[in-house]
């Protein structure tokens, strides 16, 4: 039998077939290790962190937009074969919009946890760190790094700061929005596992070109909580204070128009009060339903009827899901 002599990739000389195969596997392994090391370095440099899966469970099934995101984004990304079979294209770029404190950031983190992907936040302030003239260049470099990563949720909060409407913007703002318009399609390579999520309180201020189909796959409203949503969050924060026998139905009925951020702040106030009280009187102090109601009556929720109305109009005009 003829013995095949094959050129070794690593040694650049002819070796036996088995040796060449082993050598090839070694070099593939070394390449994969190097790739992983490069990715790990980049993840560290970009401040990536891993979110616990449990974060998803803190969202009630009715908290907007949990069901929608589950069906439209998480399932297609996780069930790749099934989604390919049915021609479903998983969304790669999203905008979340809604009033302050409605849980947009919390939601994006929970999504990353549910997917088991890394979470990276790109702060507009960091893009601005070298001066306004450099924002476009910084955005380009950051996105080049992002494209080298795999299984990441990339989050940009206060998106209007870098993607404001070009009609009213200065020359520099316009060039940043233009850069963004170039970068978004580049992140959406078929097969890539990068999900870009941008959040804003001011969807009306975003450049119309960014909102057109083809740039962002989904534009998702994140609005007020219904009773079930409030109940889940009230239970979450009640479990963190020193309380007993709380009438949850009553609290749910008294916290209409409260955002998650309002509920969190309310419970911080309650916790501080009971802590101070026990410190002063040196006797066990248990928070009661009445004590919580008393704080609720003094609390001004951040959503006004005008803000809710405005949000409803925006949801009708801008949502794409
Ligand atoms: N389901 C939830 N359970 C418990 N806490 C929550 C939940 N949703 C949001 N929160 C808390 O409410 C606060 C406000 O949420 P978040 O920061 O996500 O709001 P936001 O919409 O991003 O606000 P902004 O528009 O100001 O950026 C956060 O501290 C967050 O941890
Ligand atoms: Mg936020």
pLDDT score at 69: 92
Which of these CATH numbers, 3.40.50.20, 3.40.50.1000, 3.30.450.40, 3.40.50.300, describes 49-223+309-318?
3.40.50.300
Pocket test for ligand 1, best of 62, 65, 101, 113 (most atoms within 8 A of CB): 101
Name the residue with higher pLDDT: 124 or 252.
Answer: 252
**102 Cβ contact partners less than 8 Å away, ≥ 6 residues apart:** 222, 223, 224, 225, 259, 260, 261
Angstrom distance (rounded) from CA 134 to CA 121 = 19
Give the residue extent of every domain in the chain: 5-45, 49-223+309-318, 227-302
As a whole number, mean pLDDT of residues 241-251 equals 96
**3-class SS of residue 96:** strand
pLDDT score at 32: 63
Q: How confident is the model at residue 1 (pLDDT cuts 50, 70, 90)?
A: very low
Give the percent of the chain with pLDDT over 90.
55
pLDDT score at 165: 62
Top-ranked range on mean pLDDT: pick from 9-13, 209-213, 222-226: 222-226
**262 Cβ contact partners less than 8 Å away, ≥ 6 residues apart:** 101, 255, 299, 301, 302, 303
If you measure from the C-alpha of residue 285 to the centroid of ligand 1, how many angstroms do you get, rounded to a whole number?
A: 28
What are the φ and ψ backbone dihedral angles of 261, each rounded to 5 degrees?
-65, -40
Q: Do domains 49-223+309-318 and 227-302 have the same CATH topology?
A: no
Q: Which residues line ligand 1 (CB under 6 A)?
A: 58-59, 63, 100-106, 157, 201, 233, 236, 260-261, 264
Q: How confident is the model at residue 62 (pLDDT cuts 50, 70, 90)?
A: confident
CATH of domain 227-302: 1.10.8.60
Closest-lying ligand 1 atom to the alpha carbon of residue 102: 21
**Protein residue with its CA nearest to atom 10 in ligand 1:** 260
pLDDT score at 175: 75
CB neighbourhood size of 214 (10 A)? 10
Q: Tell me: the pLDDT tens digits for 190-212?
A: 778 899 999 999 999 888 888 88
């Amino acid at each position: 039998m003829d013995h095949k002599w094959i050129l070794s990739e690593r040694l650049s000389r002819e070796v036996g077939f088995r040796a060449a195969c082993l050598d090839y596997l070694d070099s593939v392994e070394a390449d994969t290790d190097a790739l992983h090391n490069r990715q790990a370095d980049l993840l560290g440099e970009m401040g990536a962190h891993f979110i616990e899966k449990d974060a998803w469970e803190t969202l009630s099934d009715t908290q907007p937009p949990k069901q929608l995101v589950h069906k439209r984004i998480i399932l297609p990304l996780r069930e790749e074969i099934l989604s390919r079979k049915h021609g479903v294209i998983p969304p790669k770029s999203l905008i979340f919009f809604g009033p302050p404190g409605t849980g947009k950031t919390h939601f994006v983190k929970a999504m990353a946890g549910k997917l088991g992907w890394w979470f990276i936040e790109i702060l507009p302030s960091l893009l601005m760190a070298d001066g306004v003239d450099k924002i476009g260049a910084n955005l380009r470099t950051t996105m080049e790094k992002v494209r080298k990563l795999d299984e990441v949720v990339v989050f940009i909060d206060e998106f209007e700061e870098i993607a404001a409407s070009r009609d009213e913007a200065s020359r520099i703002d316009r060039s940043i929005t233009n850069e963004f318009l170039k970068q978004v399609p580049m992140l959406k390579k078929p097969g890539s596992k990068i999900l870009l999520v941008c959040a804003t309180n001011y969807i009306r201020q975003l450049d119309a070109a960014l909102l057109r189909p083809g740039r962002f796959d989904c534009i998702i409203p994140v609005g007020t909580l219904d009773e079930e949503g409030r109940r889940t969050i009230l239970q979450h924060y009640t479990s963190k204070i020193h309380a007993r026998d709380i009438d949850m139905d009553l609290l749910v009925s008294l916290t209409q128009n409260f955002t998650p951020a309002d509920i969190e702040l309310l419970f911080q106030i309650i916790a501080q009060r009971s802590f101070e009280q026990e410190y002063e009187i040196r006797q066990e102090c248990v928070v009661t339903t009445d004590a919580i109601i008393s704080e609720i009556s003094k609390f001004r929720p951040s959503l006004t009827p005008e803000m809710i109305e405005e949000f409803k109009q925006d949801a009708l005009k801008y949502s794409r899901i």
